[in-house]
Amino acid sequence: MNSLEHDLRTSIAALDEVVQRISTVNQIVENIKEFQRINAPEKTETIEEYYLSEINKWILATDKKNAELEKKEKHLLSTQTKYLAALKKLKELENQIQNTTEKYNYCKSQIEKLQK
């Protein structure tokens, strides 16, 4: 029984310490709030005005990002067009090389026939 009573008293003492700490923290928070209230300039802006200004900031930021994305998209399309044109030119050159090689081999075979 003494052990239970001792455990109960120890637990109550620990809870009292926690309550004391919480009370101290609450006092600190209240003092900070009071300090901020005293030192804060009077706000003339209403909640609606605040949210409207925040929405306007968001719209401006979004417009800026959209403009950047459009610029990047135009650059990407330009780059893709150049890339496709280069691929087409490369294919034409490959075909030209193949035709030239075939003509060379034909001429070479004709020369060999004439030499025999």
- What does the pLDDT look like over 40-64, one tens digit per residue? 666 666 888 888 989 999 999 999 9
Query: What's the chain's average pLDDT?
Result: 88
Q: What are the sequence ranges of the domains in the chain?
A: 1-41, 76-116
> pLDDT by residue (tens digit) across 2-13?
787 888 888 888
What's the distance, CA 9 to chain centroid?
55
85 has pLDDT over 90: yes
Q: What angle do CA 95, 97, 100 make, to 5 degrees?
A: 110
